[in-house]
Amino acid sequence: MTHPTRPHRNFYGRLKGKSLKSSQKTYIDEDLAALSPGAVGWAENPTRTDLDLKALFGGKPVWLEIGFGGGEHLVHQAAQNPDVGIIGAEPYINGVAMLLGKIRRANVQNLAVHPGDARDLMDVLPAQSVDRAFLLYPDPWPKKRHHRRRFVTQEHLVPLAETLKPGAILRVATDIPDYVRQALEEVPKAGFDWLAECPADWREPWDDWLSTRYEQKALREGRTPHYLTFRRAS
C-alpha cells in the first residue's frame, strides 16, 4: 500500500512468529497480491491516493476488521454477509497466512486483505466510506506507560472516525477491564456514542458473533469478555 505522504510510524506488536508451513507460504505467494485492497482501481489510475472501493467491491457496503489475528471472525462475517465487502488489516504475517488458508477453504469472494498496520490502510480509505468496523481483542498493553500504544487512543481513533460513515457502527471486544475504561473515555472523544442501555448490552456477545482465538484464550484463563458497541455520530 503506497501513499505519497505516509508518515513513519512505530509498530510495537509482533510481525512474525514461528516459521510458516509450506502450504502457508504458498497461500501468501499465490493469493495475497490479488487480495490487496489496492489490487483493483490503482492499476488503472496509479496517481490516485485513495482506494477505489467501488472498483474493489462493486458498491457494496464496506466493513473493516482491525487486527484480525487468525481471521476466523473475518471469514465468518464474509460468509454470513455476501452483500458486504470486508477489508481486514493485520501486520502479523502468521495470522495473515492463517486467514488465507481459511479464505481458500470457505471460498469467500468478498474480502480484501491489508497485511500491515491499519493506520496505513486508513490513510488511503476515502473519508466516510466504511459502514462498520470491528476492533476485537486489540493488544492490551497492560503496563500504564504503554497505554498510549493502545488502539483506543486519538492517534488511531480520529482517522478511524474519519473513514466511517455517520451512523456507522464500531464494535470493540476486550477482556481487559482497564481497556474498557480507556475505550469508554477515548472512543466518545473521537465522535462516537456508546449504545449500551443495560448490562446485557456489554456482557452478551453480538447475535452474529463468532468467538475469536484470543477470546477463547481469555475464557480459558478466566477473564471476562466485554462487548462494546459504538455509533459514529452524525
Ligand X SMILES: C[S@@+](CC[C@H](N)C(=O)[O-])C[C@H]1O[C@@H](n2cnc3c(N)ncnc32)[C@H](O)[C@@H]1O
**Which residues are designated catalytic?**
139
Please identify which residue in 137, 179, 192, 202 interacts with ligand X, judged by CB under 6 A.
137
Please identify which residue in 27, 42, 63, 92 interacts with ligand X, judged by CB under 6 A.
92
Show the cell assigned to 175: 477482556
Q: Which is nearer to ligand X, 9 or 203 (CB)?
A: 9
Position of minimal CB gap to ligand X? 67
Count Cβ atoms within 10 A of the Cβ of residue 116 and give its class: 0-12 exposed, 13-18 middle, 19 or more buried. middle
If binding is defined by CB under 6 A, does position 27 make contact with ligand X? no
The whole-angstrom separation of Cα 142 and Cα 203 is: 21
Sheet holding 111-114, edge to edge: 111-114, 85-89, 62-66, 130-136, 164-174, 226-232, 192-194
Q: How many CA atoms lie within 13 A of 229 on its CB side?
A: 18
The minimum distance between CB 223 and ligand X, in angstroms, equals 12
Residue 9 CB neighbours (<10 A): 10
If binding is defined by CB under 6 A, does position 96 make contact with ligand X? no
Q: Which is nearer to ligand X, 106 or 233 (CB)?
A: 106
The whole-angstrom separation of Cα 53 and Cα 47 is: 16
Q: Which is nearer to ligand X, 92 or 202 (CB)?
A: 92
Task: Compose the 65-84 pattern: x for residues touching ligand X by CB under 6 A, - for all others.
Answer: -xxxx---------------
Q: Which of 94, 92, 90 is nearest to 73 (CA)?
A: 90
Please identify which residue in 117, 131, 175, 186 interacts with ligand X, judged by CB under 6 A.
117
Stretch that binds ligand X, among 41-49, 50-58, 90-98, 192-200 (CB under 6 A): 90-98
In one-letter notation, the amino acid at residue 104 is R
The whole-angstrom separation of Cα 56 and Cα 95 is: 23
If binding is defined by CB under 6 A, does position 157 make contact with ligand X? no
If binding is defined by CB under 6 A, does position 13 make contact with ligand X? yes
Length of the chain in terms of residues written: 234
Q: Which of 122, 79, 78, 75 is nearest to 95 (CA)?
A: 75
If binding is defined by CB under 6 A, does position 89 make contact with ligand X? yes
The DSSP letter of residue 205 is: P
Q: Which is nearer to ligand X, 117 or 131 (CB)?
A: 117
The minimum distance between CB 13 and ligand X, in angstroms, equals 4
Which residues are near ligand X by CB under 6 A? 13, 66-69, 89-92, 95, 117-119, 136-139, 212-215
